[in-house]
Amino acid sequence: MFNKFFKFLFGYVIIRIYGRGAERFLNICLRRGMDVWDVFPRKNGIEMKLSVDAFKRIRPVAFKCGVRVKMLEKRGLVFTARRYGKRYALFVSILLAVTLCFVSSQFIWLVEINGAEKSDIDDIIASLDSVGVRSGAWKGSLPDGDEMKRAIINGSDHIAWAWVYIEGAKARVEIYESIIPPVVLDRETPCDVVASCDGVIKKINVKNGEGLLKEGDAVSAGDVIVSGRVPVYKEDKPEEYMFVHSMADVEAYTSEKKTGDYKLYYESRTPTGRRGRRLSVEFLGKIFPLPFFGGGYENFDSEERRHELYIPFFGYTGVALDVIEYDEVNVNREPISTETALEFAKNDLEGKISKELTPMSVLTDEKLEYEKTDNETIRVTLEMNFVRNIAVEQPLGGE
């Protein structure tokens, strides 16, 4: 790597040797210690690269071997400086650009947050803002990493670990969220057993506490089924209570219902080959949209890409190009039967209901209904009935 850098720094030339003595010419150059590399045989000669010093010494060798030498290209910083040496405006522009990159890299122009799925993004932004991590902030005023980490973690209940990486003019916030375990109360904490959802009690087994409901009773989410406030009766004394940790197994008939709209056709999208592009430039936190290139498409698929300008030693400079590619498509609709649409709808709605169920829920029956909302759409309702454990422990308020 450094060898190539120094060769570019001091300059080199690319030449081609013509004639029958080309191989002899190469051997003499190597024997005399000339700096030669990247030798490639060509159809009518040999092409090679050699240093400027070696190039100055090849004339007698070429004469001795009876070959013709043709210079193809000059490369390197030396030749570039000679070519543009008197173009002062160019050098001033380069100097200003480097100065601008250096100054802009001392500020934060982009805050990127990764890993926040369950956490409220607004809370994370507020936590970052409280420690000065925002667009336009001077990097020299930012606190150390541990302080930024504590601010992010303390601002949300779901974040287990966080860190802010400063990459040039960008602050990249990496977040790892914790898996929230179910609330488990120790046996010494007084609590009630309440219903986790609506239902009708099928079977109840009270292990501790005062049972308030019985089999066949309807219950709503949050209703107390077994109370931790147990009355104690004593002769010639008013009624007293003791507070216990209620425990019970409560099976109940429950019902879950979901509704969705589904189409009576299958849609396929075929690209036409026509493409459009919309560009926008982001400069120091401001977005400047550019004209749209291409026609206005009625049906299209789009893909968004972002290109950030990074410069060695500066990192992200605060300049980015956002590109949205539009591919025009022909939309073909193939009608499907109502039975096929209902099968797809049933699978989709079952998946949504299953995400809300507790483990060990047993399906008893289900009912699928639909109605046409227009000639191409049906509204499908799926009702599924389960037997499930609805007992949830809830601490007694202040007792």
User: What is the rounded average pLDDT for all residues in the chain?
Assistant: 82
Three-state SS for 345? helix
> Above 90 in pLDDT, residue 74?
no
pLDDT at 399: 42
> Above 80 in pLDDT, residue 90?
no
pLDDT at 380: 92
Read off the pLDDT of residues 30-72 as tens digits, 9 standing for 90 and up: 888 888 888 888 877 888 888 888 888 888 888 888 888 888 8
Domains, the chain:
2-81 (3.30.70.260), 107-177 (3.10.20.310), 191-250 (no CATH), 258-264+336-389 (no CATH), 265-333 (no CATH)
* Top-confidence residue, 150 or 3: 150
- 77-84 and 2-10 helices, crossing angle to 10°: 30
- Mean pLDDT is lowest, of 75-84, 270-279, 380-389, for 75-84
Go through 355-384 and write b for each residue having 16 or more CB atoms within 10 A of its CB, e for each that does not.
Answer: eeeeeebeeeebeeebeeeeeeebebebbb
**Rounded to whole angstroms, how far apart are CA atoms 67 and 87?**
38
Read off the pLDDT of residues 209-245 as tens digits, 9 standing for 90 and up: 888 988 999 998 888 999 988 887 766 665 678 888 8
**Rounded to whole angstroms, how far apart are CA atoms 144 and 148?**
7
pLDDT at 151: 86
* Top-confidence residue, 83 or 366: 366
- Asked if 217 contacts 201 with a C-beta cutoff of 8 angstroms, the reply is yes
Q: What is the mean pLDDT of residues 333-351?
A: 89
* CA-to-CA separations, 158 to 36, 134, 165, 390, 395, in angstroms, rounded: 62, 22, 20, 25, 22
pLDDT at 180: 46
- Mean pLDDT is lowest, of 53-57, 290-294, 333-337, 382-386, for 290-294
> Above 50 in pLDDT, residue 29?
yes
Q: CA geometry: angle at 258 spanning 256 and 261, to 5°?
A: 170
Q: CA geometry: angle at 266 spanning 263 and 272, to 5°?
A: 125
> Above 90 in pLDDT, residue 18?
no
The gap from C-alpha 392 to its chain's centroid, in whole angstroms, comes to: 36
- Mean pLDDT is lowest, of 157-161, 191-195, 277-281, 353-357, for 157-161
Quickly list H helices, the chain.
2-10, 22-31, 52-55, 59-65, 77-84, 88-104, 121-130, 145-154, 338-354
pLDDT at 398: 38
pLDDT at 86: 65
Return the bridge partners of 392, or none.
194
- Asked if 388 contacts 252 with a C-beta cutoff of 8 angstroms, the reply is yes
What is the token pair recorded at 92? Answer: 């001033």
* CA-to-CA separations, 199 to 40, 69, 257, in angstroms, rounded: 83, 95, 13
Among candidate residues 369, 364, 365, 363, the one with its CA nearest the CA of residue 382: 369
φ, ψ of residue 153 to 5 degrees: the values are -65, -40
Q: What is the mean pLDDT of residues 144-152?
A: 85
pTM of the model: 0.48
Read off the pLDDT of residues 109-131 as tens digits, 9 standing for 90 and up: 888 888 877 778 888 888 888 88
